[in-house]
Amino acid sequence: MKVRRALMACARGLALLPVTLAGSITLFTLTVVSLCLIPLGLGVLTTPALIKTVRVHANQRRLVAATWSGVRIRVPYRPLPADRRSGITGQVELCAFLLKDRATWRDLLWLVVDMTGGCVTAVLAFAFVPYGIEGSVLAAGTWDPIVGASGTYWYAFVPVGSQRTANLAALLGLGFIGLGLFVSPVLLRTHFLLARAFLDPTPNMALAERVERLTETRHDAVDTSAAELRRIERDLHDGAQARLVAMGMSLGTVEALIEKDPAKAKELLATARANSAEALSELRDLVRGIHPPVLAERGLGDAVRALALRMPMPVEVEVELPGRAAEPVESAAYFAVSEVLTNAAKHSGAARMWLDVHHEDGMLRIAVTDDGRGGAEISPGGGLSGVERRLGTFDGILAVSSPAGGPTMVTMEIPCTLPAPKPAG
């Protein structure tokens, strides 16, 4: 396994070489030239496109870092303004916005580091094993035609001119191979750690992003609460309130007919009783929509199990929670799960779903998976967008993996603590 890992690191170091050399050098040169052309006006048109290309290049390195070495590099870019104007004016505003973003200048600095230090670490991650193989085969007689054609051949610090020196070079080559098997994965990881030092957001940038996100989610929370109050008011007015008014009118009529037409009065009483039962059912549904009783009484685990039982398809539920979170967190998690399950049941075409809820490292983690057709995404105004806003109120996140053809996995995380339940008595 270690040999395979080292050989993979060697091959990946080779794959990174053209990216660090041609890619980073070309992008850095073009971007600097474009920045110099801004005073002439031409750079205003070319700089935004080049900065976006640099960001694509950096994001590709982030993906490779996570895939090849498990090095996570966060994305620090500020979202582009949604109300940009069109034409030259909009282009100037976009250029100014990108140049004011500190991440733009850190990306340019990373390009310089990538074409120097990044290139060196990629070369070293690749070079040891092939160079060691070259030395180890000299003892098999390959040294003779080389020396015959060009004279003494230097392998590292060994002058190869005879079988004896070729044997020494072969021993040195085996040493290089052994060294490469050990250091190639380390050097590859060093390459990505060097990239993370420049591509990862600084503490100040992360703090600014967090403040901006919290401000946005607080506004969303206020808007959501107002919309929820309007929904409750509408449901009460159109549902239970209307039935209670109708029931009151029926009882008034019964009072007038109780002596004149007992049969008709009895019929109206039956209608009033049916209206009262329907009003009570609607009130229960309304209360369940605000805060399900099972959630208040039994906690998130039993609440999502009850939710899964109401789905039109089998839902396999696995819950591992050592205690109960704060009531607002439980409520947000419950309604997020409800929305995701409902969306999957309506749109995914799945025959089966899986729900996993557990708490780890200070995070409430929820994963909903289905075997449907895939293609789910977070779109503005969609159900998943609403879930993302709901979780954002608690500094939570939502991630969707849904390739065409499925499966779809929706992952939710909410930072929280779960105090252990108090012992009875």
pLDDT digits (tens, 9 = 90+) for 245-301: 666 776 777 667 677 777 777 777 777 777 677 766 666 655 555 556 777 778 888
Type of residue numbered 410 = V
Bigger pLDDT: 410 vs 290: 410
Here the tokens at position 177 are 């191979």
Bigger pLDDT: 185 vs 210: 185
On whether the CB atoms of residues 289 and 254 are closer than 8 A, the answer is no
- Residue reference for tokens 């098997």: 181
At residue 425, the pLDDT reads 45
**H/E element, 335:** helix 327-347
Segment 93-98 mean pLDDT:
86
Cα–Cα distance between 99 and 102 in angstroms, integer? 8
- Angle at which helices 119-136 and 163-199 cross, to 10°: 160
Segment 175-189 mean pLDDT:
84
At residue 144, the pLDDT reads 64
At residue 205, the pLDDT reads 66
| pLDDT band for position 388 (cuts 50, 70, 90) | confident
Cα–Cα distance between 380 and 212 in angstroms, integer? 19
Q: How far apart are the first and last CA of the chain?
A: 54
| pLDDT band for position 312 (cuts 50, 70, 90) | confident
Tens of pLDDT, residue by residue over 184-206, are: 888 899 999 999 988 888 777 66
| pLDDT band for position 82 (cuts 50, 70, 90) | low
Domain ranges of the chain: 2-199, 204-290, 294-415
- Which of helix, strand or coil describes residue 425? coil
| pLDDT band for position 304 (cuts 50, 70, 90) | confident
The mean pLDDT of the chain is: 79
Cα–Cα distance between 10 and 184 in angstroms, integer? 6
Which has the closest alpha carbon to 275: 231, 243, 317, 315? 243
Cα–Cα distance between 411 and 425 in angstroms, integer? 38
Here the tokens at position 180 are 């490469």
Taking every pair of C-alpha atoms in the chain, what is the biggest distance, in angstroms?
Answer: 130
At residue 40, the pLDDT reads 84
Q: Which segment, 100-104, 107-111, 237-241, is predicted with the most confidence on average?
A: 107-111
At residue 381, the pLDDT reads 66
At residue 28, the pLDDT reads 92
Cα–Cα distance between 157 and 154 in angstroms, integer? 6
Given this structure, which CATH class describes domain 294-415? Answer: alpha beta
Per DSSP, helices labelled H in 70-202 are 87-100, 102-113, 119-136, 143-150, 163-199
Bigger pLDDT: 59 vs 142: 59
Cα–Cα distance between 240 and 353 in angstroms, integer? 35
Segment 390-409 mean pLDDT:
81
Segment 135-142 mean pLDDT:
69
Which has the closest alpha carbon to 236: 273, 275, 274, 283? 283
At residue 108, the pLDDT reads 92
At residue 111, the pLDDT reads 92
| pLDDT band for position 85 (cuts 50, 70, 90) | low
* pLDDT over 90 percentage in the chain: 8
Q: Is the pLDDT of residue 424 over 50?
A: no
